[in-house]
Structure 1
Amino acid sequence: MKQIKSSIILAFCSLFMFVQTAQATGFNPNLVITDNQLEDSSTMDESTIQSFLLARGSLGIYATTDIDGKVKTAAQIIDRVAKKYNINPQFLIALLQKEQGLVEGKITDKRLNWATGYAVCDNCELGHPLVEKYKGFAKQVEAAADRIRNTYLAQIDTAGKTLTGWGPGITKTASGIKITPINKATAALYTYTPHINGNKLLWSVWERWWGEVTQQAEYPDGSLLQANGQNGVWLIQNGQKRPITSMAALISRFDLEKIIAIDESALDNYEQGRAIKYANFSILQGADGTLYLTRSDTRHPFESEEVFKKLGFSPDEIIRAADEDLLQYDLGEKITANAAYPRGALLQNNKTGGVYFVEDGKKSPIWAKEILTSRFKEMNITPVSPEKLEKYETVDPVGFYDGELIGETGKPTIYVVSNGRLRPIPSAEIFLTVGWKWENVVWTNAKALSIHQIDTPITIEDSPVIVAMN
């Protein structure tokens, strides 16, 4: 059982002070656009590109010599390059606007010649032979797409980062701010433009033309969520969001370090479930006088007041609860006078060193120290004889709590426990998008992992991309 300590309360208060200062700011420097928004080459065909450009400026009537020596429209060049390199034509159009304002601004020879800003830098001489070879609209579009696909994304796929060190989950500084890209696209864009203002400009163009840049994460059962700028914490369970309505309940049942800060809109995807109001192992009394011991989401009635006293509980612990609060709990088995350790205990075999969690006369073996420390941080271990342990029925071993991030030592796969099963997390992008922290991963042995069956991987769905033609 967890106990409320001053250090935990301070951490709790600090957490909420931090979250209260966070606001939904729109631009997330860690997510400029999604991987799909960079790499989906099917979003627009040539005619759609042409219509889009004509509706916004003079680029729609511009034509020039392509790299094959043939005269083509800007739309034809963009379409060809997008298909060749599997790059989203929307991205190429946004890049033209971000770099030179060519889509909505005035067209000049200089802007066309350096359309995507490729090979252009603060200290570069445009007349230098190594720079001038990229001069021209078609060469610029070609070179930008080629570099992003065949250099930046290729480096991330093989080495986890680009030559300049940008990669998903890797923190670097840009414009004096620490940035941790959550996907390959963002890492590639900071390699192409290593400052925040340029990438924020690309993001703002994208938002204005094609809608919001978001990735909808799947939050598995056991996730603790908190909306930016709000105090409330929610437990995701059985596809519902359950409000945790008291500090005591939060501290006694959950790890504050596991709270994930999210946008408020993400909570709208869940129906509201039962509230979590009381601390674990609370003594509740109903209007009819019945006494209950709470364990997680179950209330166990004491067989009688005499049993309550015999087992060492005190009347000072009793909390009078409304019937509606009691109904938030499932009704469990009665607690009788023969119940051993109704609040649970850790007993250790003083011969073998094996540790068991004993509750109501049943003992569950603990197969790894990581399970012991993650589930029973505040519980003392009592050494007992093998003969005493033999009195208790052996049941299934103790597993990890839902929401725990675990992996086998020496192996790369990370899982999240959900409904008692292990759900693989396929990539660093998904890990970071959900909001998990690397430092919260628990590395354990294969035997401990075997307690849980493998389930389906965690997924992320990109938000719909809407092409605005007006």
Structure 2
Amino acid sequence: MVLLVLAWVSGLLVATAPPSAAADLRQFQPGNIIADGVFFNPYTMTEAEIQTFLNVRGGPCTAGFTCLKSYSDTMPAKPADAFCGGYPASGAEPASRILFRVANSCGINPQVLLVMLQKEQGLVTGRSPSATAYRSAMGFGCPDTAACDTAYYGFANQVYNAARQFQRYANSGQYTWVKVGATNQIRYHPNAACGTGPVYIANKATAGLYYYTPYQPNQASLNAGYGTGDGCSSYGNRNFYQFFTDWFGSTQNPASLVQVPGRPEVWLAVGTVKHHVPDEGELKVFAAKLGWVRPAPASYVDSLVLGSPARRYVHDPRTGTLYLLQADGTKHRFPDTATIASYGYEFGSYTNIDAAQSDAFTTGPDVGGFYRVESGPEVYLLADGRRRYVTTPGAYNDAAAGRNSYISSMSAAGAAKIPAGPALLPRHSLVRETSGASVYLTLADGSLLHIPSFGLAADAGRREYVVVANGTLANSTVRTGSLSPFIRCGSAVYLVAGGTLRPVTGSATGGLTPLDLPEAACADMPKSASSVSAPFLVQVPGRAEAYVLEAGQLHHVRSYDRLMQITGGAAPRFVSWSADTANGVGVGAPELAAGTYVQFVGEGEVYRGDGRGIRHVTSYDALVRSNGGRVPPIEKLPVAQKAYYTVGTPIS
């Protein structure tokens, strides 16, 4: 059983066979029924493809009738004018040839002509078409309120004049009451009592359809699918959309990427302009939403005006917005000209795309400073006109704080124009290249500072450690000197100890020279609110000894009494240094407990010590006498340590 549906034909309802599947009428846009790039593209089908389409859609014809797939007609001579290229008088030609030649002469998509034949008279799928249906095949010259004009009778005559009329609607300047780019009141039905509805007309093709059939479907018509609505329903433009969508796909997406068989060039077609797609990277971006490359006749491609090379940096002419297209099918607005320039584009070098092509891409976040080259794994940040390699997720998180964190994809050609800057390293971290021996501390201003030991870095509160590829640090600024136990940040001096920087009051630094750093370089180092001052007492975790820092070395304080002498009787306050830091500073001569006897290696003299003071014991008798009548134990010290002590009056 053949299910019949009703289509609006010049004010009447006629029975037509439905296509095999119904379009989703929730997607119907009354102001953009079909895109100009689809409607006015004459190169979508060859004559053979049209004939095959008619054969497949037509099915078996009822005995005694001639169906469209087998129909022939003669064409009266049509002179060339501003709207069509003309058509010489012809003998009997098959319908497929007439449709192909008219499409090319008048610049109308042959798919549009096929749909018009179906919606007006059901000729594509009809199995028993009448002579009247062929006589007024396109419904041209057949007003709703009067008989058809005999001047336009005949299948070939109808097809040519209807196609020419659509060009007149678009280009003559005579048709202005359906305004493109403005909201128009469009009726729902020939009966004025059914009222009108506001419709923003997006393009010339949609305006032409309303000139041809001046009614929009109401909700009842759309809800009915291919069926009937209510007393105020019209069906012509609804059926045009349905038939086109079911037979040929989207009314909004013409073939954008085309290639002539046998030629290497791939083109992005935008209206009447073609843009050469220069490489695979750009091709993947456009193909993400515009579909893969489709073959196209040489006559079509050669007829297009040559434009600039296709770039993923595009312009939407409706709003003037400049976007960066991505291979994941998204588009991202350039917020300013500086960002455009940072991606290697001249401001005016964008590719103009049409509304349908732009709308095919999903809108994502604005373009920011982070990018990858094509789809590579490495992330870079554009800053001050240079590309900075982002070494770790932590470095990305640090850099993304407070800025647009979207990571875009940049073409290889664009990336090659950007000079390399210093790599972005995680803040507060230690870093080394794979084959390098030196380990550096990342400072707040992005510069690097050599560290002599991991322990000293830990004393400064820096423990995170990353290893990066060789060459990563090539563009980084490495500061002179190394991290030291005392740092001068601007004018303030700090002692590095226990994972923090402790402010130093007074000018003494225990004989160590502070490392000078700008405030900006050490601004984010952890700083204690508790200050310290000389004398600097030090303990090392895991060691029982107490040390005092003097003359640039640590000195073991061997007695509590001596410790109290050093502090002036105040309770001692120690700072904690790692073994690495202590060993780096070095342990010198001890602070001697009172009554300690020492002898320096290589010398014969014996001394009696007390703190930093030593007194030469001049004789054996004096030695025994000074120790209460007994020979004391004598400690051997390196001769180099002798200089630390003050030699007092001899003991005789």
Which TM-score band applies after superposition, normalised by the shorter structure?
A: 0.3 to 0.5
TM-score after normalising by structure 1: 0.42
Q: By percentage of residues, which structure has more helix? A: 1
| Structure index of larger Rg | 2
Q: Which structure's residues are more often strand, by fraction?
A: 2
Higher relative contact order (CA closer than 8 Å, sequence separation 6+): 1
What TM-score, normalized to structure 2? 0.31
